[in-house]
Structure 1
Amino acid sequence: MESSRNLKMKFDDLFDVLVKDLTENQPADTSPALKWFQQVLLYNVPHGKKNRGLTVVQSYEFLIGEKKEMSDEDFKITAVVGWCIELLQAFFLVSDDVMDHSITRRGRPCWYTVPGVGLIAMNDALYIESSVYKLLKKYIRNKPYYIDIVDLFHETIHQTIVGQCLDLLTSKEVNLDGFTLDRYNAIVKYKTAYYSFHLPVACAIYMVGINDERSHQLAKDILLKMGEYFQVQDDYLDCFGDPELTGKLGTDIEDNKCSWLIVQAWSKADNRQKEILKVNYGKPEECNLKMVKMVYEELNLRTVYEDYEAKSFQEISKLIEGIDSCLPKTMFNEFAKKIYKRNK
């Protein structure tokens, strides 16, 4: 299997080709829009860790096994699908940042805050989404799995939008009693787990010709659990992570987000601590932030998180060990190791 560094370099090299596909040889009277969209793509798409996109390529390698070497054509097609997921990620992030009034993303100002952009960013987000289907049509239209992949993207977008709606509605809650573990798990599953974990691997599974329902369901069960674990990590890092490593300033407390930390805190707090949380959670001032974090420290949520992390990893490992289909256990184990105890 190719080294991660070489794989990432080859993956990155394809991006400029795809930008040209999307912005060149188009109707002349759309020229101003195309110049703008080129900026949109270059600013918003290629600067993340690219884990989702690379996962398509890596999954494909695992699935074809050692008996067959990935051809240049195999790489290109899987990388294109991977970049489509990176585009999808950018679509979600650009619109999400507007809705959440976020300030930074991947260590840079959010796109909508860039001078001259503003709410044009919402149209830019829609443009990025539509680009996914332009590329899928260009590169895999004649493949037997085309319909399955397109359908998977449509379904995943719908799931993620449902999750975002749950997240936004919950963040409007005045009463923290609505911040339950059930609500949190629903937000995580739909907003994050489907597109971040299930989509990349499911694409690769279809691309190698595995279509049986059982294999896809086994993969989904494991990947959604990984997605839950990943989001809990994200929530923890939003509060306790180093912005130099994460690339963003956490705003879950100020934004009244139904994060894993507030769900845990509310379920464990005594009356005094609940009163502090009621008064300060969802407020923008530094003093409010400090009071919430004080309660988090009193409740020893760092240790609660460490216990969750260990238990969750064990549950994921058990699910992987129970695989009884053609899916390779090594693939899931490698992906689980990558996210275990991450700090960014």
Structure 2
Amino acid sequence: MTSSEKAKAKKEFEDVFLTLAEEFLATVRSRSFPNESVEWIKKSLYHNIPGGKMNRGLSVIDTLEILKDGKVSSEELFKARILGWCVELLQAFFLVADDMMDASITRRGNPCWYKMEGVNMIAINDCLIIESAIYFFLKKYFRQDPYYVDLLELFHDVTLETEFGQLLDLITAPEDNVDLNKFSMEKYKFIVKYKTAFYSFYLPVALAMHMAGIKEPTAFKQALDILLPLGEYFQIQDDYLDCFGLPEVIGKIGTDIEDNKCSWLINQALLVATPEQRKLLDENYGKKNPENVSVVKEIFKQLCIEEKYKKYEEESFTYLSGLISQLDESFLKKEVFNSFMNKIYKRTK
């Protein structure tokens, strides 16, 4: 797909959001709610949902087109875009809540929703409304489809898996009780698998598989076996960019160090730190002061964590490419997974 074709596909996807947002607001108005509540929901929707890279949502469409050899009707394409926006709604629901839990400042180059004037903890209810919108659209557009229940179960299951991952993340690394002894690569991989990989990688592909009429459990297992490691690779990239990426490029100010996150970087550092370096990490990790953050980053530099990441990236690319090359294409196509690799390999934001 050429850059102009990608831009056109993205624009067509974005246009569907405008339709869906107005449909959702119409159902709010139908309840005769005061206009101020309608305007509040509208502001929340437009602040929190569009504006990202939209890779998760677009992946539903891309996957369906690959599975159906490009023979997708205009109706199927529209419905795939709706499912793509349902994934983006799920992402927005998680991010609004996550930003509050992490006390984050910016998201996608703008203030986090709860940081907007007058919002504060009302954002809790707003993120629940965003989640409910998913099921509003699934019911409206897919209730008559034979795979409707499959879609419902998939969204519910993936949401639960993600919430399990978020819980382990929060109890492993509470901001008010820094204890690096709680960290380990084993815990890190569990967090990544459940918090990120299921909804960011498996969900878009599984949605397209249901639309394409794939029913064989083996096919979904094959997808899971490749997409979960892909998700781990993606999250490790995210951890790297949080520390070493430029805020003006990644669209946010990284706060993993301040937030006492059980990230790939700190776990790598703990494996090789000297007793003196470990003492400094214990004293400075999870502190909000920029001076403490600078100490941690300096230790990362001393331990060549950035170089370790670049080595990991190449090794992961080789490993994942091997998994994809071994895929039995009876139900799925290698191109589905190669398209993901092409989107994330050596990304900068």
Residue 246 (str. 1) matches residue 250 (str. 2): yes
Q: How does 1:116-265 map to 2 (within 5 A)?
A: 116-172=118-174, 174-265=178-269
Q: Which amino acid aligns with 2:168?
A: L
Q: How does 1:303-318 map to 2 (within 5 A)?
A: 303-318=307-322
Residue 337 (str. 1) matches residue 342 (str. 2): yes
Runs of 4+ in 1 over 3 A off after TM superposition: 29-32
In the other structure, the counterpart of 1:114 is 116
Q: Which amino acid aligns with 2:247?
A: P
> Using the alignment, how far apart are the partners of 2:13 and 2:235 within structure 1?
25
> Using the alignment, how far apart are the partners of 1:29 and 1:6 within structure 2?
37
Residue 175 of structure 1 deviates from its aligned partner by: 2.3
In the other structure, the counterpart of 1:297 is 301
Q: Which amino acid aligns with 2:347?
A: R
Q: Which amino acid aligns with 2:232?
A: E
> Using the alignment, how far apart are the partners of 1:60 and 1:148 within structure 2?
16
- Which of 270, 283, 289 is residue 287 of structure 2 equivalent to? 283
> Using the alignment, how far apart are the partners of 2:157 and 2:336 within structure 1?
24
Residue 22 (str. 1) matches residue 27 (str. 2): no
- Which of 91, 97, 102 is residue 89 of structure 1 equivalent to? 91
Contact 2:66–2:333 (CA<8 Å) still a contact in 1?
Answer: yes
Contact 2:173–2:179 (CA<8 Å) still a contact in 1?
Answer: no
> Using the alignment, how far apart are the partners of 2:178 and 2:296 within structure 1?
16
Residue 22 of structure 1 deviates from its aligned partner by: 0.6
In 2 relative to 1, CA 178–135 (structure 1 residues): closer, same or farther, beyond 3 Å? same
TM value normalised by structure 1 = 0.97
Contact 2:269–2:305 (CA<8 Å) still a contact in 1?
Answer: yes
After superposition, the C-alpha distances for 1:17-65 in whole angstroms (9 at most, x for unaligned) are: 1011111142113544222111110111011110000000000000001
Q: Which amino acid aligns with 1:182?
A: E
Greater displacement, 325-334 / 230-239: 325-334
Residue 277 of structure 1 deviates from its aligned partner by: 0.3
Residue segments in structure 2 that go unaligned for 5+ positions in a row:
none
> Using the alignment, how far apart are the partners of 1:339 and 1:32 within structure 2?
41
SS in structure 2 opposite 1:27?
coil
SS in structure 2 opposite 1:29?
coil
Report percent identity of matched pairs: 49
TM value normalised by structure 2 = 0.96
In the other structure, the counterpart of 1:4 is 6
Q: Which amino acid aligns with 1:82?
A: G
> Using the alignment, how far apart are the partners of 1:65 and 1:301 within structure 2?
42
> Using the alignment, how far apart are the partners of 1:289 and 1:90 within structure 2?
28
Kindly tell me the number of residue pairs found equivalent between the two proteins: 342
SS in structure 1 opposite 2:82?
helix
> Using the alignment, how far apart are the partners of 1:39 and 1:175 within structure 2?
39
SS in structure 2 opposite 1:254?
coil
Residue segments in structure 1 that go unaligned for 5+ positions in a row:
none
Q: Which amino acid aligns with 2:261?
A: K
> Using the alignment, how far apart are the partners of 2:120 and 2:190 within structure 1?
31
RMSD across aligned C-alpha pairs, in angstroms? 1.2
SS in structure 2 opposite 1:28?
coil
SS in structure 2 opposite 1:258?
coil
